[in-house]
Structure 1
């Protein structure tokens, strides 16, 4: 039989460059550096690798791997996190912040430069970063680049943290036992394989407290890798993967089962924290509003009480400490209203999908955004009135939350008109970004003006602009 040669497509043949970003500790750097060397030494031209790190760790990189060095001013006495005193929480926090300040912008600059070089056959790029660098998936996503979360711990340890977070009882502050009896982590039936017993002393409370933050970041990755091998921990890697998929699919499944335009979506952004007292009032207000709700609690939440209270609720779902694709939620046909902090990104997403808002600004220009939504666009309902600085810090009672949501989702003449205006706004927003729409036309006009500026300055027309993604 005559064989036809299968030529790879241009996309398949394009080289892939992997940028590895280890955490600034020797025990974390070594496994990622080994992965980078393995990628660079595959014996083919289609995969290259580089490491982004600081001057202290650059000499430790494998010779076959290119190194991007980011200046790092350590706020403590060491450039290696593993050398910090184990009991100095403030030094650890300062080190993490300094690492993000050094590596975050450097990673963004690398990805931006690569995107701008696509026309020169630079190929594709992906990021592989340490799991504790919770900001890295966001940087990759902002540049349209796939991201892989790499755990330097084993799959059993990582899965144990997840299982403990889900199944253990919280420690009793009044208990006098020095070493409480072990608690069981259930096994079988999709749970932890097999059932194990752990003592509280085996659980790192500090690591457990950061788990929601790391899991929220990990949800933005396209893959998760462990520093292990299948024959050793395959069951636990499968447990981790299955649980992560279930966590991501659960909100969509819950929305799919809800009636059209019946759900209130509540979210206050990823950086706006509320006090424990305010969270309790918000939870009570959502329960009392008479409408099903999907409440996303950011990782900055100071308590988990509302999450625990709502787990068994039949009329609401709480997603705590992890990222949720907000645009997809607002686009879902079950969502009829949005309880929001009035961050501008949230405002625009709600506008694009024609969703009216219950406004609860917390800081910065959010109060001005609320005034626009309520008084100018007339697609918003105020949760509270803020007339003094003290009003900003006052706890909003559950009754006010329930009342605002009732108006947002109500059937009165004013409520129906508000929803109609939101739908009209959604139609206009989608038209603006469609082919020939006002936003596209204005952007094209700006690019033409910038081109004309250089033509006037040089006296000669430009050859071309990069056709990557609109950056100028």
Structure 2
């Protein structure tokens, strides 16, 4: 995979991208590959995406949706074996396929394991000999391998600057909870971000910082960091990365999902069915609900959510995670069939959010979903589930004002552990949705703010926009590094 001369006479930059084992990571890595491949008219950047066999279809699906009618031959997919992990069913290589939290933990621990994961990845990297490597934060050994090969390593962060900096600062200052069992993020601009202990990521509750410290060390050692965000959304937090000396270089490239819109021909039958259903609804009348591919939710909570949606008498479209074996309450589907649609397959979320009928998005605050809602100008009701999502919620509700909590502060215990998360009752679900969706209510106020951010997100990705400029700066910097390496040979 060494650099070569292209047909146009220029030299080709061959880059290798290695995402973590979650759809929420693989998709933005694939989006980045598409952006890199299209960054120069003579296609001098040739990306290769490395995944385990069970994750190939995710990459292929993104490429098909994004590149229909275009030539995707410049983007290649290679595979390496997923290790044997005790207790993990064979073929389960993605958090979205994990049927239990224990299986999710096994995948996470395997990804961080030098003994289990590094050998296969290192063998692949050395065989391909790329000019640059884009690595997920889990694979902390990649920067060492890149250094041995004499090539740049870019840490690509699929989460926002705000939540990742908050976690970093809480770790760096070893922040303890106060008398109210709440931690305040240190050295952050106002408003002060306060997070109850139960909503902190497990690494902060346990104070086991070893893995996080290694990730931060890897990011500092890398050529630079790239983040799927844009300065208009998180400007003061983006600037902090370089100002505080956390990384050598920073590139803010998002929202990557805005790069290309799928053509009508690329839409499947299911796609059309969902959009056709939305076409029958008035503007801003539908509540769209989706909680990502990884979150585990108890059957009792899903029951309460279903009955709460019924009680609102509002139209809704609800994506239920495929791994959930939940069945709705008896008779519920019949009672809501004229105004509710349950989706148990892949949902075209960007197309759904972009539809004028959607008036609110109930989200777990996964970063990809947040960016898609912002780009579509849809206000959010937040219901975080795991890791940094409780922190991202504060960006949405307290900093940007583009959404509100589904469950008000103090209403009940929320936790990363879904078994400890108190069940949000029917009445609270219905009340939150009706209040947010009422004319002139908080949803309309949040919509005004998020529509402004939507315009900024499109401007950032357009020719000459901040993310467009950062992409070109990134490619130029990698080309210069490659040239400098060549001059030393």
Give the TM-score, by structure 1 length.
Answer: 0.47
Q: Which has the higher contact order (CA 8 A, sep 6+)?
A: 2
Give the TM-score, by structure 2 length.
Answer: 0.45
